C-alpha cells in the first residue's frame, strides 16, 4: 500500500478492516475503528483526515493485529468493567466473562460496607489486577490486597492501581501455599483475615484453540491435574485459612468444573456453595461463604 499524505480516516479504517478480515478477525470493522481511535486519541469525525505519520502508525498496529497479537497487547490497554487498564505480554489479559465474577465480589464487599465494615479483599493470582481493582474502584471503602506468583503480574497490578488511582497492596506470593502466603502477607503488614476473596485461578484443562490465548502466560491458564482444578482447590484452601467468619469466596472456574468445585467447597466446610453462570449462560464461578462463627 502506498503511504498517503493526507488520508481520510474513514478510508483508512475501511482498508484496515479488509486487512483484518482477511486475517480472520471476526469483528474486523469494530477493531479497525478501535485502533484508529487509539492512534488518534479520540473518536474521529466523519470527515477527519490523518497525516502520513499517523497513517503509518495505524497500519503498523493493524499489521500486528493481523498477525494475531491480541488487541489488548497491540494497544497496550484493556477494558474491564468501567476500568481502562494497562496490558502487556507476559501477563494474562482479563476476559469479559470475569466481569461478572468481579460483580459478585463487589456485591459481597457492599454487604460488609452495609454492616459498617471496611471490607478487606484479597485477589489471589491477580494478573493485571482487573478483579481486585474493580472491587476497590467500585467499593471505595475496600482495603485491597492482591497477590501473584509472577513478578510481571505484581508489577502490572501496581502500575494499574496507580493508573486507575486506587490504593492496593500488591504482594509477590504463591497463593497455593497457605503458610507461605500468610508469611508473605505478614511481612507486608497486610496480615488480617479477609472478608472477600476474588480470584480467577488457572483452571484450563487443555490447550485453548483461540490463537490469542497463546499470548497469555501458560501459568495463568493451566491448573494442572486431569480436571484442571488442582490450583483452584489449593486457592480455596488458602482462602479458607485466611478468611473471617462469614467471608465470601468468589472463584472463576471452567464450564465443566462447577460441580466439582462446589463439592470441594463443601468438603472444606464452606456454606451454601453455588456455581453461577456468566452472560453466555455457562457455569462460570463459585460463590461460597465461611461459617459465621
Contacting residue, 200, 238, 257, 290, with ligand GLN by CB under 6 A: 200
Q: How many residues bind ligand GLN (CB under 6 A)?
A: 10
Percentages helix, strand, coil for the chain (3-state, rounded to 5) are 45, 20, 35
When asked if residue 93 is in the footprint of ligand GLN (CB under 6 A), the reply is no
Element (H, E) at 130: helix 130-138
Least separation in angstroms between residue 72's CB and ligand GLN is 13
Rounded to whole angstroms, how far apart are CA atoms 226 and 144? 33
x/- mask, ligand GLN, residues 209-228, rule CB under 6 A, reads: ----x-------x-------
When asked if residue 68 is in the footprint of ligand GLN (CB under 6 A), the reply is no
x/- mask, ligand GLN, residues 225-264, rule CB under 6 A, reads: ---------------------------x------------
When asked if residue 119 is in the footprint of ligand GLN (CB under 6 A), the reply is no
Contact stretch for ligand GLN (CB under 6 A) within 13-21, 24-32, 72-80, 200-208: 200-208
Cβ closest to ligand GLN, residue 77 vs residue 219: 219
When asked if residue 203 is in the footprint of ligand GLN (CB under 6 A), the reply is yes
261 with 249: CB under 8 angstroms?
no
Rounded to whole angstroms, how far apart are CA atoms 206 and 154? 26
Rounded to whole angstroms, how far apart are CA atoms 241 and 181? 10
Contact stretch for ligand GLN (CB under 6 A) within 70-78, 101-109, 199-207, 238-246: 199-207
Complete DSSP assignment for 62-118: HHHHHTT--HHHHHTEEEETTEEEE--TTSPPPPTTHHHHHHHHHHHHHHHHHTT--
Give the count of beta carbons closer than 10 Å to the beta carbon of residue 113: 15
Cβ closest to ligand GLN, residue 99 vs residue 138: 99
Q: Which residues bind to ligand GLN, rule: CB under 6 A? A: 95, 200-204, 208, 213, 221, 252
Amino acid at each position: 500500500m502506498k503511504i498517503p499524505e493526507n488520508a481520510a480516516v474513514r478510508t483508512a479504517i475501511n482498508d484496515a478492516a479488509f486487512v483484518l478480515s482477511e486475517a480472520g478477525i471476526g469483528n474486523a470493522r469494530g477493531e479497525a475503528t478501535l485502533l484508529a481511535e487509539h492512534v488518534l486519541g479520540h473518536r474521529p469525525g466523519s470527515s477527519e483526515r490523518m497525516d502520513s505519520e499517523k497513517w503509518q502508525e495505524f497500519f503498523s498496529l493493524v499489521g500486528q493485529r493481523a498477525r494475531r497479537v491480541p488487541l489488548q497487547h497491540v494497544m497496550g490497554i484493556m477494558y474491564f468493567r468501567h476500568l481502562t487498564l494497562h496490558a502487556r505480554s507476559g501477563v494474562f489479559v482479563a476476559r469479559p466473562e470475569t466481569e461478572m465474577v468481579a460483580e459478585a465480589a463487589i456485591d459481597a464487599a457492599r454487604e460488609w460496607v452495609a454492616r459498617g465494615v471496611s471490607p478487606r479483599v484479597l485477589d489471589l493470582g491477580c494478573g493485571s489486577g482487573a478483579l481486585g481493582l474493580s472491587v476497590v474502584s467500585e467499593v471505595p471503602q475496600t482495603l485491597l490486597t492482591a497477590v501473584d506468583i509472577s513478578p510481571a503480574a505484581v508489577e502490572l497490578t501496581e502500575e494499574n492501581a496507580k493508573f486507575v488511582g486506587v490504593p492496593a497492596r500488591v504482594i509477590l506470593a504463591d497463593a497455593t501455599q497457605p503458610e507461605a502466603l500468610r508469611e508473605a502477607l505478614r511481612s507486608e503488614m497486610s496480615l488480617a483475615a479477609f472478608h472477600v476473596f476474588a480470584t480467577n485461578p488457572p483452571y484450563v484443562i487443555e490447550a485453548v484453540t483461540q490463537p490469542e490465548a497463546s499470548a497469555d502466560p501458560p501459568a495463568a491458564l493451566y491448573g494442572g491435574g486431569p480436571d484442571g482444578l488442582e490450583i483452584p482447590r489449593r486457592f480455596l484452601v488458602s482462602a479458607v485459612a485466611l478468611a473471617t467468619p462469614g467471608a465470601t469466596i468468589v472463584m472463576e472456574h471452567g464450564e465443566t468444573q462447577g460441580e466439582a468445585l462446589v463439592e470441594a467447597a463443601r468438603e472444606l466446610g464452606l456454606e451454601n456453595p453455588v456455581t453461577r453462570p456468566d452472560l453466555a449462560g455457562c457455569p462460570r464461578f463459585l460463590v461460597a461463604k465461611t461459617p459465621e462463627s
